[in-house]
Amino acid sequence: MIKLSDYIFQFLMEKGVRQAFMLPGGGAMHLDDSLGRSGMEYVCFLHEQAAAIAAEAYGQHTNAPGLLLVTSGPGATNTITGVTAGWIDSTPMIVISGQSKREDLVGDKGVRQTGSQEVQIIPMVTPVTKYAVQILKPEEIRYHLEKAYEEAVTGRPGPVWLDIPLDVQAVMLEEEMLAGYTPERKKQPDIASAVSKAVELIRDSEKPLILVGNGVKLAGAEEKLYQVMEMLRIPAETTWKTADLFDENDPLYAGHPGIMGDRGANLILQEADFLLSLGCRMDTSVTAFNDRNFGKNAKKVIVDIDPYEIARMDMDKEAYAVCDAELFLAGLLEAIREKKEQFLTQGAGKDREEWLCRCRDIRRKYPVITKGHETVTGYVSAYYFIGELCRLLREDDVIVPESSGGAGEITYQAFRLKKGQKMKNAAGLGSMGFGLPYAIGSCIANDRRRTILINGDGAFQLNIQELETLHRLKLPVKIFIWNNGGYASIRSMQRNNFDGRYVASSGETGLTMPDIGRVAAAYGFQTFVIHDNQELDGVLPQILADDRPVLCELMVLPEETVSPRVKAVVGENGKMVSGPLEHMWPFDDANT
């Protein structure tokens, strides 16, 4: 006989799950006790949202389920933001929530609540999970665990949720009597025609380009991607999720495109005559709200595991394949090897060096960090800071930009990654407050490698309590807070759209912030303040000299915004429309 709550953690341990993120509560008391006795590592957070964010970060970095355990009612509802981020970013997560005992559930009574802290959580989270169920029959626990785990890690990954009433948690089970789950056998997708078309178009193209999306990482297809690129000498651009797949100086790396991408990458994309998109959902931040203009001169082959994402793309496609990136790249490699002589002797594909030189020249011509950033006085230029930080970081560092606002946008745009570094955030949802718990989850997922958190002063407030969690764990997390006096991104939006009328975005308009250094000191942190560019050389090496957690506040240029960027323009009908990717502000001769 085994207690049901014990069985859950036994099952998860057998699946290789070794880390949980949690906040205890009465509605999950048997689950909490079983976790404590299971031998599984766990981290207790001070808010369930933060625990969910850390679990999402863990799943992002490991491609294994981030396990989250919370109590009923508010414990469950507090996690929804983190779970939603996992849904959007295709992150494997397993959420287990406690619940009121079965006799106290609302059921079909027609009332709003009967049990203590009871909330009908499953209908709330169903839209942002792959599988969500309340366990009412203890004998079905094995079935639901097996199905939930399968759903979390296969196909397009994502969160799953099991809601378990108190009395069900405590039931004693006969393990051998439990029925399991048999996954449906899926038909192998037919990719032959798409592979054949891709081979033909690559062979005949003069300026081919690969766009690498998160699906490549989720499928574990990185090595096959590198092989294809090297064999055919094709450059690649990345989305934010895949920026860390390439060293900045890799001759086959062409940057990352988008509204807040780098100018060189956008120009290269718009000049390409063939585009192979691998596992990229082409969200509006990448296409600049204009699918038809994206890669405007390129014939396209699209590969994505989700047919709905392909159908949503409003662009011409020569071919597409509904499969994961690993399967397609395996087929492409096989076809290339079979037709290697054709690639060497026929068509434009026989010589790529002219195109590769062109890509390198474009990127050199349009660096993101400029002399103007270096010469800023009286404040720190966020761009110059990123450049100096890149110079000092190690190849094994983990970088976490905040998921919302300038701290995330400028970091991704300007960061020059070294091979071996990892950089992730939850930009799909783009919520404030993710930085600190995401950094904790990222550091744990990477065996406590040094982790660099780059956060805005506004977003940092939303989960500032997790400074205590970080201090308790003594993780090597270096926190850099950009102090720009509130919400710089909101001020920029208000300035550009409402004739400079500001609301709730600065001290003068109703928004105030605490002294972050004093707050951090109260939590036991060593703190630093950098007032201008000239102080970076002296202070940054001190901060990075050891692996202690440290918080450094940077007094950044208050109105420094993302530049370059695609800006909205007035269309023929007088309405505001997003400009073309190649037409980035500030404008120059490249955009005419």
Please tell me the distance from the alpha carbon of residue 551 to that of residue 95, in angstroms, as a whole number.
31
Half-sphere exposure of 449 (CA within 13 A, CB side): 18
Token pair for residue 379? 């404040």
The 10s digit of each residue's pLDDT in 573-588 is 777 788 899 999 998 7
- The DSSP result for 184-231, as a single string, is PPPPPP--HHHHHHHHHHHHH-SSEEEEE-HHHHHTT-HHHHHHHHHH
Q: Which stretches of 350-508 are DSSP H helices?
A: 353-365, 371-374, 382-392, 406-414, 435-445, 457-460, 467-473, 488-497
Other C-beta atoms lying within 10 Å of the C-beta of residue 523: 18
What is the layout of strands, in order, in the sheet containing 93-99? 41-44, 19-22, 66-70, 93-99, 159-165, 131-134
Residue type, 102: R
The mean pLDDT value for 136-144 works out to 98
422-423: strand order across its sheet: 422-423, 398-401, 451-456, 477-483, 550-555, 526-530
C-alpha distances out from residue 168 to 30, 136, 163, 196, 442, Å: 9, 7, 10, 54, 33
- Within a 10 A sphere around the Cβ of 528, how many other Cβ atoms? 18
Closest CA to 148 of 140, 160, 164: 160
Q: How confident is the model at residue 345 (pLDDT cuts 50, 70, 90)?
A: low
| pLDDT confidence band for 341 (50 / 70 / 90) | low
pLDDT exceeds cutoff 60 at 350 = no
Count of CB atoms within 10 A of residue 143's CB?
A: 17
Which 3 state secondary structure label does DSSP give 446? coil
Q: For 11-53, write each residue's pLDDT tens digit.
A: 999 999 999 999 999 999 999 999 999 999 999 999 999 999 9
- Cα 299 → chain centroid: 28
Of 297-311, 348-362, 384-398, 455-469, where does mean pLDDT reach its minimum? 348-362
In this structure, the strands spanning 208-212 and 236-238 are: parallel
Q: Which two tokens stand for residue 349?
A: 């594909």
* Distance in angstroms (rounded) separating the CA atoms of residues 518 and 279: 44
Mean pLDDT over 461-470 rounds to 98
The pair of structure tokens assigned to 257 is 């495109």
- 3-state SS track over 513-573: CCCHHHHHHHCCCEEEEECCHHHHHHHHHHHCCCCCCEEEEEEECCCCCCCCEECEEECCC
Around Cβ 184, how many Cβ atoms within 10 Å? 7
Do the beta carbons of residue 507 and residue 488 sit within 8 Å? no
Compute φ and ψ for 176, nearest 5 degrees. -70, -15
- Would the pLDDT of 200 be above 90? yes
Q: Residue range 477-484: average pLDDT?
A: 97
Provide the residue count of the chain: 592
User: Do 2-177 and 371-563 show the same overall fold?
Assistant: yes
The CATH number of 371-563, from 3.30.390.50, 3.40.800.20, 3.40.50.720, 3.40.50.970, is 3.40.50.970
Report the range of poorest mean pLDDT among 339-343, 455-459, 552-556. 339-343
The identity of residue 276, as a single letter, is L
Please report the pLDDT score of residue 343 as a whole number.
65
- Whole-number pLDDT of residue 439: 99
The answer to whether residue 395 scores a pLDDT higher than 70 is yes
Find the mean pLDDT for residues 533-554: 97
Question: Could you report the per-residue pLDDT of 66-125, keeping only the tens digit for each?
Answer: 999 999 999 999 999 999 999 999 999 999 999 989 888 788 888 887 878 889 999 999
Domain boundaries, the chain: 2-177, 192-365, 371-563
- In CATH terms, is domain 2-177 a member of 3.30.70.100? no
Buried b (16+ CB within 10 A) or exposed e, 260-287: bbbbbbbbbbbbbbbbbbbbbbbbebbb
Query: Is the pLDDT score of 346 beyond 60?
Result: no
Residues 6+ apart with CB under 8 A from 147: 131, 181, 183
- Res. 171: pLDDT tops 50: yes
Domain 192-365, CATH: 3.40.50.1220
Q: What pLDDT is attached to residue 592?
A: 41
DSSP annotation of 485 reads S
* Residues 76, 132: Cα–Cα separation, whole Å: 13
CA distance linking residue 310 with residue 184, whole number of Å: 24
CB atoms within 10 A of CB 542: 12
CB-based contacts of 115, cutoff 8 Å, min separation 6 = 72, 99, 100, 101, 104, 105, 106
Closest-CA residue to 413 (of 452, 367, 467, 359) = 367
How far apart are alpha carbons 191 and 322 in whole angstroms?
Answer: 8
Look at residue 186 in the predicted model and tell me its pLDDT: 83
Looking at every residue in the chain, the average pLDDT score rounds to 94
Pull the structure tokens for residue 463. 């989960």
Please state, in angstroms and rounded to a whole number, the distance separating the CA atoms of residues 72 and 57. 23
Provide mean pLDDT across the span 564-569: 88
Q: What percent of the chain has pLDDT over 90?
A: 85
Q: How confident is the model at residue 348 (pLDDT cuts 50, 70, 90)?
A: low
Looking at residue 474, its pLDDT comes to: 97
Stretch 187-201: mean pLDDT: 94
Quickly state the pLDDT bin for 342 (edges 50, 70, 90). low
For 511, counting Cβ atoms within 10 Å of its Cβ (0-12 exposed, 13-18 middle, 19+ buried), the class is: middle
pLDDT at residue 392 is higher than 90: yes
Q: How far is CA 278 from the centre of its chain?
A: 17
Q: Is the pLDDT of residue 590 over 80?
A: no
Mean pLDDT of 276-301: 96
Sign of the C-alpha dihedral computed for residues 336, 338, 340 and 341 taken in this order: negative
**Residue 183: pLDDT over 50:** yes
**Span 222-252, pLDDT tens digits:** 999 999 999 999 999 999 999 999 999 999 9
Q: Determine the pLDDT at residue 105.
A: 75
| pLDDT for the residue numbered 74 | 97
